[in-house]
């Protein structure tokens, strides 16, 4: 029997299971419980979109609401991780990273190396990413490439509820700092998710759909978009393989290369801005390592080189669409006859 739960519930479940398993797991963040010191109900919010709702009743003061001081509490999570805890800090929107970036890229990311291998920093920083919420330029960015650029950080971005649960469990158990990116437009998306605990190893991409003519690579929201493009392409006789990277650092080069060696064509779909992005990274790697297999120039479908606009009329054009993916595939295959 399928057990359909949402991406949001899957994250809640992963946190609950890991808190039960390991007493060193603590949660910190703004309004992750909600109602602290207020006259009404405690657990009033459970996070700004309710992801941690109900965990306070189960785990009490292992959930800590914080003041609006990201440098201090994200830094405190990192410091506690270096001292034997496994904090999961919620940054709400990844855009707020600007406020606390030093603690992450100069501190957490570098302890292990700078200290000659002696330190470990098993911290998870959960944050929402992505556009589609009409939340405008400072609450909608896909900043994944900022983090993949930095050695010492791991970067995860699940595309579905099943992966969200397994990847978050792995992130908490992982001994390195992990930036866990939750796509806000996927919170409601449901998948068949087992009740028990399971961890999905980092650096293992998922082949979301088999195909033989072209390889579509994406992560987060671009995976469902690529799958829908693959449906359209199938109707015109083009068989697209869809690879969900799942983790961006480490990244599963082998699965991507193997697929391109079979299909000979590559289209990378990335919601980040186009320069120095996950898309450019994948295209560069494949071009360098599987050049001989390519039958056409690799294509990239990305957000434009602009901030995220507010107006729905513009935001809808901003996010890579299934139509844009189909058009990019057609560039690699040349004009195809419709199978109608």
Partner 1 sequence: MTNNPFPLSRDELLTAYRTMRTIRDFEERLHVEFAKGDIPGFVHLYAGEEACATGIMMHLTDIDRIASTHRGHGHCIAKGVDVHEMMGEIYGKATGCCRGKGGSMHIADLSKGMMGANGILGAGAPLICGAGLAAKFRGDGGVGLTFFGDGAANQGTVLESMNLAAIWNLPVVFVVENNGYAESTSVEYATAVDSYVDRAAGFGLPGVTVDGTDFFAVYEAAGEIVKRAREGGGPALLECKTVRFFGHFEGDAQTYKAKGENEHNRAHRDCLKLFGARVTAAGIVADADLALIDREVAALIDDAVDTAKGAPLPGARELTTDVYVAY
The answer to whether residue 180 forms part of the interface with ligand TPP (CB under 6 A) is no
User: Considering Cα of 23, then 29, then 33, then 36, what sign does the dihedral take?
Assistant: positive
How near is the Cβ of 139 to ligand TPP at its closest, in Å? 7
Q: Which of 7, 82, 96, 174 binds partner 1 (CB under 8 A)?
A: 96
Question: What is the size of the binding site for ligand TPP (CB under 6 A)?
Answer: 6
Question: In 3D, which of 99, 3, 87, 6 has the Cα closest to residue 51?
Answer: 6
* Contact letters for partner 1, residues 25-64 (x by CB under 8 A): -----xx--xxxxxxxx--xx--x----------------
310/324 Cα distance (integer angstroms): 21
- The answer to whether 85 contacts partner 1 (rule: CB under 8 A) is no
Kindly state the smallest distance separating residue 29's Cβ from ligand TPP, in Å: 10
**Scanning residues 211 to 240, which ones bind ligand TPP (CB under 6 A)?**
none
Distance CA 268, CA 219 (A): 10
- Exactly one of 139, 183, 289, 305 is catalytic; which is it? 139
* Strands of 240-244's sheet in order across: 206-209, 240-244, 214-218, 266-270, 299-302
* 106 near partner 1, judged by CB under 8 A: no
Among 4, 21, 237, 311, binds partner 1 (CB under 8 A): 311
99 binds ligand TPP per the rule CB under 6 A:
yes
Evaluate whether 168 touches 180 at the Cβ level (below 8 Å): yes
Please say which residue, 85 or 99, places its beta carbon nearer to ligand TPP.
99
Give long-range contacts, CB 8 A cutoff, 24+ apart: 252-256. Answer: 252/203, 252/204, 252/205, 253/285, 253/289, 255/204, 255/205, 255/207, 256/205, 256/215, 256/217, 256/282, 256/285, 256/286
Say whether 289 is catalytic: no
Residues with catalytic roles:
139
Residues that bind partner 1 (CB under 8 A): 30-31, 34-41, 44-45, 48, 65-72, 95-96, 98-99, 133-139, 304-307, 309-314, 317-318
Residues that bind ligand TPP (CB under 6 A): 30, 68, 70, 92, 96, 99
């Amino acid at each position: 029997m399928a057990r359909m739960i949402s991406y949001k519930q899957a994250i809640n479940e992963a946190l609950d299971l890991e808190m039960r398993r390991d007493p060193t797991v603590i949660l910190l963040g703004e309004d992750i419980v909600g109602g602290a010191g207020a006259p009404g109900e405690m657990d009033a919010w459970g996070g700004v979109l309710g992801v941690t709702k109900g965990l306070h009743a189960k785990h009490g003061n292992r959930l800590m609401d914080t003041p609006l001081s990201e440098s201090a509490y994200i830094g405190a999570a990192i410091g506690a991780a270096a001292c034997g805890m496994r904090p999961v800090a919620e940054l709400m929107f990844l855009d707020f990273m600007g406020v606390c970036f030093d603690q992450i890229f100069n501190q957490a990311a570098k302890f292990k190396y700078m200290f000659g291998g002696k330190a470990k920093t098993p911290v998870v920083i959960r944050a929402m990413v992505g556009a589609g919420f009409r939340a405008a330029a400072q609450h909608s960015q896909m900043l994944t490439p900022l983090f993949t650029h930095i050695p010492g950080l791991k970067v995860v971005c699940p595309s579905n509820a099943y992966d969200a649960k397994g990847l978050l469990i792995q992130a908490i158990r992982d001994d390195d700092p992990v930036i866990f990116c939750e796509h806000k437009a996927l919170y409601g998306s449901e998948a068949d998710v087992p009740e028990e605990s399971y961890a999905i190893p980092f650096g293992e991409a998922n082949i979301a759909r088999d195909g033989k003519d072209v390889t579509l690579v994406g992560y987060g929201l671009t995976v469902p978009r690529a799958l829908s493009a693959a449906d359209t392409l199938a109707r015109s006789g083009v068989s697209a393989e869809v690879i969900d990277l799942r983790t961006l650092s480490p990244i599963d080069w082998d699965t991507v290369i193997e697929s391109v060696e079979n299909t000979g064509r590559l289209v990378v779909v990335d919601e980040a801005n186009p320069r120095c992005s996950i898309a450019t990274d994948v295209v560069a790697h494949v071009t360098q390592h599987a050049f001989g297999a390519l039958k056409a120039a690799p294509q990239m479908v990305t957000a434009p080189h602009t901030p995220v606009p507010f107006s729905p009329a513009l935001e809808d054009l901003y996010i890579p669409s299934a139509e844009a993916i189909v058009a990019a595939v057609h560039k690699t295959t040349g004009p195809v006859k419709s199978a109608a």
